Amino acid sequence: MKGSKLLVDSLKREGVKNIFGIPGLYNMPMYDSFIEDIESGELRHVLMRHEQAAAHAADGYARATGNPGVCTATAGPGVTNIVTGLITAYQDSSPVVAITGAVNRNAMGKLSFQESDTLGISFPVTKYAVEVKTIQEIPVWVKNAFYIASTGRPGPVVVDVPRDIQMEDINNVEYPEKYTVHYRPFGTEVNMDKVRQMAQNLLRAEKPVILVGTGVVWANATEEVLKLSEFLGCPVVSTLPGKSAIPADYPLYIGAMGYYGRAEASMVALESDLLLAVGARFSDRTFTSYDEMTDTKKVFMSINLDPTDFSKGIKPDVAWQETPRYW
């Protein structure tokens, strides 16, 4: 079995049905290996006109289906072209797995044709990036990539596979049964003191508002948000990417707020005396003015899986690190 066929089979074992991309010199072996799967209908390849569009398409697929989207690009310009799509997926917490081709191992570091520092380019805009070193590592890192991309706070992962590894033969294939990587998702803890403090603040507030983001979507926590909204009788607003977290016909849903949202939603959030963010960060696109928000002296509370979000934008008065579904 060729390394490229092993790569395709490893993707299929992770449930991949659709791949977005453009063939090039260094990912062409992969294309040669999945032609039969395309013809049989087991895989669907969407030929894009630009690698950036391939990454965006994989991102959109992930958001629409809830499953990691897969894109592929060749080395050099192919890799640099997917960066915009990767950073979009990274900032919006979308699980994308990018399979990139790389120059042959014996040509690395020699300014070879279309050679680029894929890992150096990818690290700042992805959740994880790795270069496959041997053919035996292909199924290991494909499984790891899907685990990393889809657990905890979702995000994009790059798996860089040199062309000579794709062309190499292997007789005995061992597919891992589980991930083998030291990465661990963010931990959560039920803090009853935080629960009581948040509950007291919500019951004490006269005009509470719930702000939801994509964290609610990925945690499938829509039902829990609606129950809280109905119990409190309070309106719900959303970030623009998080607007699918709440049914558009829900009576207490005002809409997305911020620069690209509805003025009514922004005004409701501004005039509230308590703003509870669930699976959302206080970003500069959601709030048109931080000063205007903080001048109201409202109480800010946040429930988010990623604790680093608590220090971005407005620091919440009460912050609880937890998956939105289990609060």
**Domains of the chain and any CATH numbers:** 3-167 (3.40.50.970), 192-326 (3.40.50.1220)
How many CB atoms neighbour CB 135 within 10 A? Answer: 23
Q: At what angle do helices 83-91 and 51-65 cross, to 10 degrees?
A: 30
Q: Which residues contact 199 (CB under 8 A, 6 or more apart)?
A: none
| Residue closest to 163 by CA, chosen among 80, 78, 106 | 106
- The per-residue DSSP string of 179-210 comes to ---S--PPP----HHHHHHHHHHHHH-SSEEE
CA distance 7 to 321: 37
pTM: 0.87
Model confidence at 326, pLDDT cuts 50, 70, 90, reads low
Q: Write the pLDDT tens digit of every residue in 152-173.
A: 899 999 999 999 999 999 998 8
Residue with tokens 């092993």: 6
pLDDT of residue 184: 78
Q: Identify any residues that bridge with 9 across adjacent strands, giving them in sequence order.
A: none
Per the model's pLDDT, the better-predicted residue between 148 and 186 turns out to be 148
CA 98 to chain centre: 12
Residue 188 pLDDT > 90: no
What is the pairing mode between strands 69-73 and 96-102? Answer: parallel
How many CB atoms neighbour CB 218 within 10 A? Answer: 25
